[in-house]
Amino acid sequence: MSEQKPPRYKPYNQPAGGWGAAGATAKVLLQQSVIGKGSKALLAMNQPGGFKCPSCAFPDADERKKLEFCENGAKALAWEATQFRAGRELFAQHTVTELMAQTDYWLEMQGRLTEPMRYDAATDHYVPCSWDEAFALIGRHLQALDSPHQAEFYTSGRTPNEAAFLYSIFVREFGTNNFPDCSNMCHEPTSRGLPPAIGVARAPSCCRISSMPRRSS
Residue-wise pLDDT tens digits, 151-172: 988 877 667 777 888 888 999 9
Q: Which residues contact 59 (CB under 8 A, 6 or more apart)?
A: 200, 201, 202, 215
Give the whole-angstrom CA distance, residue 42 versus residue 73: 9
8 Å CB contact between 212 and 61: yes
Query: What is the predicted pLDDT for the residue at 47?
Result: 85
The top-scoring range by mean pLDDT among 4-13, 46-55, 64-73, 86-95 is 86-95
Average pLDDT for 112-120:
94
pTM: 0.65
Q: Which residues contact 177 (CB under 8 A, 6 or more apart)?
A: 171
59 pLDDT higher than 90? no
Average pLDDT for 71-75:
84
- At residue 16 the predicted structure's pLDDT band, cuts being 50, 70 and 90, is low
Three-state DSSP state, 210? coil
Structure confidence by residue, pLDDT tens digits, 181-207? 655 666 666 777 778 877 776 654 443
Give the whole-angstrom CA distance, residue 147 versus residue 94: 36
8 Å CB contact between 68 and 210: yes
